[in-house]
Amino acid sequence: MLSFSPQEIERSIAFYRDKLARQPRVDFNKRWVVQLARPLFYLAYLDRRALKKHRLKAERRTLHVGERPIRVRIIRSPDPPRGVIVDIHGGGWTMARAVNNDTLNAEFAAAGYVVLSIDYHYAPEHPFETLIEECTTALRWALRNCETEFGTSNVFLNGDSAGAHLSLCAAQRLKDEPHYGRLKAMVLRYGCYDLSATPSVREASSDVLVFYGPSLRQFFERITGRSDETARRDPKISPLYGDFESLPPALLVVGTADPLIDDSRLVSHAMRKAGTDHEFILVPEAPHSFDRFPTPVAEKFNAYARAWIAQHLPSARRTEH
């Protein structure tokens, strides 16, 4: 089980206090704010050195699946791949691109994985269900084609924030398909799983870091196009109300200062009730997106997540037994 020393926590809190607290919050309900934030967010999380550090290259590719072209960014390991990691980025369903996860994904590729990161379309310009279907389609493609394309039958999901929501939606939708057994495990980072808003979201204050807390409930209505809370509890868009039977093992993580903390708590409860193997990590005092910042806590968790995935490779499980 992952734990953090008081020194690691204090040094991380100092960063949140000194750096993040001075930054303006993002209110996703204001169109001009989103339009301004998109290029700023893209540049803020664009790490051009991440791939060079490990002598890696990325390729852009469009998967033609039926009538729906899916844009992906592929980072290949220099060694024979241990598995494929399907990565779904965050950004409130409205911003960021696959390239913005290069810092984390380069570490995955250096550890021996092929990373397939999805560039899904933005909401609300596109219907919310379109984003879910694009990610589901890309995961389906990876499960069906991982052996012929990459020479491995081990597939993993990695999603952060909105990407964790899309990851869980996709995993729930594909459970009855023939190649689902190739999905070995999934890492779900501080996701939003209830679009009707969990108690911690409803109680979020203006002091919440990264985004403007009081605007979140209105944002869920706007982003989904559903004004009725009951409609936003539809399992098709709110995976908290979906089927948790027969899901692969999951690693859930969220910070105690994240307004989405109840989303992960409730998903953990649902997984426990369904008998789904999972680990739930609460990171003390950490805000939303804590793992993207240069702090001891982020570095330690990201290393733990890579080791956790490796433990769910079939060969690793055989060794343990």
What pLDDT is recorded for position 131? 96
What pLDDT is recorded for position 218? 93
Which residues fall within 8 angstroms of residue 282, CB to CB, at 6 or more apart? Answer: 253, 254, 255, 256, 261
pLDDT tens string 40-92: 888 988 898 999 999 999 999 999 877 778 999 999 998 999 999 999 999 99
CA distance 271 to 250: 9
Cα torsion angle, 280, 283, 288, 290, sign: negative
Closest CA to 122 of 90, 169, 170: 90
> Which one is predicted more confidently, 308 or 28?
308
Q: Are strands 183-189 and 58-65 parallel, antiparallel or unpaired?
A: unpaired
Rounded mean pLDDT of 202-230? Answer: 92
pLDDT tens string 228-240: 999 999 999 999 9
Q: What are the domain boundaries of the chain? A: 6-320
Does 318 score more than 80 pLDDT?
no
pLDDT tens string 197-211: 999 999 999 989 988
Kindly report the pTM of this predicted structure.
Answer: 0.95
What pLDDT is recorded for position 316? 62
What pLDDT is recorded for position 319? 45
Q: Are strands 68-75 and 58-65 parallel, antiparallel or unpaired?
A: antiparallel
**6-320 carries CATH number 3.40.50.1820:** yes
Which region, left, alpha or beta, applies to residue 190 given φ > 0 means left and ψ of -120 to 50 means alpha? Answer: left
pLDDT tens string 172-200: 999 999 999 999 999 999 999 999 999 99
Q: Which two tokens stand for residue 222?
A: 């706007």
CA distance 272 to 105: 29
The whole-angstrom distance between residue 281's C-alpha and the CA centroid of its chain comes to: 15
Closest CA to 116 of 154, 68, 161: 154
Rounded mean pLDDT of 144-162? Answer: 97
Rounded mean pLDDT of 144-160? Answer: 97
Q: Which two tokens stand for residue 306?
A: 């890579």
pLDDT tens string 238-254: 999 999 999 999 999 99
CA distance 195 to 270: 16
Token pair 């844009």 is found at 71
Burial class (CB within 10 angstroms; exposed 0-12, middle 13-18, buried 19+) of 207:
exposed
What pLDDT is recorded for position 187? 98
pLDDT tens string 3-46: 999 999 999 999 999 988 888 788 888 888 888 889 988 898 88
Q: What is the mean pLDDT of the chain?
A: 94
Q: Which two tokens stand for residue 167?
A: 């990851």
- Looking at the chain, the whole-number percentage of residues with pLDDT higher than 70 is 98
Label residue 321 by pLDDT band (50, 70, 90): very low
pLDDT tens string 280-305: 999 999 999 999 999 999 999 999 99
DSSP per-residue letters across 197-242? --HHHHT--TT-SSB-GGGHHHHHHHHHT---HHHHT-TTT-GGGS
